[in-house]
Amino acid sequence: MFEEFLLQSHKSFDDKHVLFEGFSRSWRMREFLVDVKKVAHALAGIREQAPSIVGIKCRNFYHHWLVIFALDQLGIASASLPNDTGVTFHENFNIIQPDLMLCDEVLSAYRVKNILINERWFSDILSKGGVFLDRYKNTSFARVSVASGTGVTAEKIGATAEYIIQNINNILHSNLLSFSYKKGEKKPQLISCIGFDILTGFQIIMAAMVAGVTVEITDRTHIATVLARNTPLVLILSPLHLEYVIGILSPLSTARDNLNIIIVGGSLPKQLRKITTQKLTKKIHVVYGTEETGLVAVQNDKLDWSMNSVGSVLPWVEVEVVDENGHILAEGQEGSVRIKSSSVLPPQFFLGPKAGEKFQNGWFYPGDRGYLKSSNRELFITGRYDDLVSFGGDKFDLRLLDDIVKSFSPIIDGSVFPVPDQNGILKPYVAVVCEDNFDGDELSRKMHEKYENLPSITLIWVNEIPRLSDGRPNRKLMTDSISETLKK
């Protein structure tokens, strides 16, 4: 179904349109779809095993997308896993539980049948392989992934091809990928630093392909090289990725007109926005949404958005702010944000043991606190009802991190809390009560065993951890105290 959708959308493009571009070569859509059929032909025997989910671990970007489309042609649900077999890979594997793995290396530590699809395998298949001309419709999910941004426990979710295509159309209707470019100039290329192992990242790249935007195959360490070309470009980044890009720029860098930035996974602090407009571009969009809801609100580059604003709610999305009894609150009153739209995953797409817990009377509750302005449907997010916090785009459960700190000998008590850096990006600080010396590097390693994407921690020693009346750490007091100290 993905192939048909792509072909239908590309009727207005000529045969010279490039779908993917790497440092050494590019691929037009026709080349890509022929390669898909070759890979599908090589994998056709998988259908006899009737797997419900096939996992993919393939570092080569182009090859990974060939496998996704080939499995879709075979009517088999796919799940992309991280390239590195670290903590995140292990956790996602245990949540998704694929019946079969297609891997670019042998996974001897996992009790699942795996088929090796390394560079040599692809070279052989693509150079002389036959083509698979049949097409099977997937009777259940087309993609399976992990959602971890709205609760302390990551969840297994599925999505049908119809749902994915609907969300792609919503991305296109939001005009996020509709950018102007000069006559005779190439359409902008797109670099996404959001992994397509998550549903949002997958849908963003699919939307770019459908919109006729060339997907640049690179990673964040080579973004400076791509920026140096000074060609039209769309960067899709988390706030932490953006901070990294700013940090590797030349001190002489100035803003350019042919660069567009889309921020996902967190708000854009005022300080980071200011330096971005000075050194990269003024064309910045910030989107609010979750794996479970799709796009909810967008900040465009035309207005001066207020603090805590996540932009205007999109026309096809309903958002309400309610009290603990579900009563709608007046404009400007803070309460629980709830969302309803065709982009929200229905309860039956949640495949974990807690499926449907976030739904009440047809509304999805992401766990965010906030309020609305009715004049332009502007949504403000002021906090969470749990201890999840975003450090630059990735979510982390502070209660779990607290437990790791407190169990580390000889620490008596401890708590993790967020502090904004010079660009406004939240970073993890660890307050500890301890009478003896201990190995801070070892504590950091223990914390990264749980969250390998956790930014570097900063340790501070205190006499006691301030607590609220219910015994929880007073993280706001610690954040405010350190923030004031850093300003001096």
Count of other CB atoms within 10 angstroms of residue 229: 10
CATH code of the domain containing 57: 3.40.50.980
Say what the pLDDT of residue 163 is.
93
Asked if residue 9 is part of any domain, the answer here is no
**Distance from C-alpha of 425 to C-alpha of 239, rounded to nearest angstrom:** 7
Asked if residue 12 is part of any domain, the answer here is no
Same domain assignment for residues 104 and 178: no
Same domain assignment for residues 236 and 97: no
Question: What is the phi-psi region of residue 339: left when phi exceeds 0, alpha when psi lies from -120 to 50, beta otherwise?
Answer: beta
Same domain assignment for residues 182 and 107: no
Of the three residues 89, 110, 140, the one that is the final residue of a domain is: 140
Asked if residue 155 is part of any domain, the answer here is no
Structural domain span for residue 467: 388-487
CATH code of the domain containing 397: 3.30.300.30
Query: What digits encode the pLDDT tens for the residues 250-269?
Result: 888 889 888 999 999 888 88
Asked if residue 17 is part of any domain, the answer here is no
Same domain assignment for residues 334 and 449: no
Same domain assignment for residues 238 and 133: no
Asked if residue 365 is part of any domain, the answer here is yes
Beta-bridge partner residues of 444: none
**Crossing angle between the packed helical segments 87-96 and 440-450, to the nearest 10 degrees:** 30
CATH code of the domain containing 199: 3.40.50.12780
Say what the pLDDT of residue 178 is.
64
Sign of the alpha-carbon torsion through 319, 325, 329, 335: negative
Say what the pLDDT of residue 275 is.
93
Beta-bridge partner residues of 232: none
Of the three residues 354, 385, 416, the one that is the final residue of a domain is: 385
Same domain assignment for residues 381 and 425: no
Same domain assignment for residues 42 and 80: yes
* Phi, psi (rounded to 5 degrees) for 203: -70, -35
Tell me how many domains the chain contains. 3
Say what the pLDDT of residue 107 is.
87
Same domain assignment for residues 412 and 359: no
Asked if residue 280 is part of any domain, the answer here is yes
Sign of the alpha-carbon torsion through 399, 400, 403, 404: negative
Question: The pTM is what?
Answer: 0.88
Same domain assignment for residues 206 and 105: no
Asked if residue 218 is part of any domain, the answer here is yes
Asked if residue 154 is part of any domain, the answer here is no
Same domain assignment for residues 380 and 236: yes
Question: What is the three-state SS of the chain?
Answer: CHHHHHHHHHHHCCCCCEEEECCCCEEEHHHHHHHHHHHHHHHHHHHHHCCCCEEEECCCHHHHHHHHHHHHHCCCCEEECCCCCCHHHHHHHHHHCCCEEEECCCCCCCCCEEEECCHHHHHHHHHHCCCCCCCCCCCCCCEEEEECCCCCCCEEEEECHHHHHHHHHHHHHCCCCCCCCCCCCCCCEEEECCCCCCHHHHHHHHHHHHHCCEEECCCHHHHHHHHCCCCCEEEEECHHHHHHHHHHCCCCCCCCCCEEEEECCCCCCHHHHHHHHHHCCCCEEEEEEECCCEEEEEECCCCCCCCCEEEEECCCCEEEEECCCCCECCCCCCEEEEEECCCCCCHHHECCCCCCCCEECCEECCCEEEEEECCCCEEEEEEECCCEEEEECEEEEHHHHHHHHHCCCCCCEEEEEEEECCCCCEEEEEEEECCCCCCHHHHHHHHHHHCCCCCCCEEEECCCCCECCCCCECHHHHHHHHHHHHHC
Say what the pLDDT of residue 89 is.
92
Same domain assignment for residues 178 and 230: yes
CA dihedral 340, 151, 197, 248 (to 10 degrees): 100
Say what the pLDDT of residue 13 is.
67
**Distance from C-alpha of 160 to C-alpha of 423, rounded to nearest angstrom:** 39
Same domain assignment for residues 124 and 191: no
Say what the pLDDT of residue 137 is.
84
In which residue ranges of the chain is pLDDT below 70? 11-15, 178-186, 303, 355-356
Say what the pLDDT of residue 230 is.
81
Of the three residues 352, 385, 418, the one that is the final residue of a domain is: 385
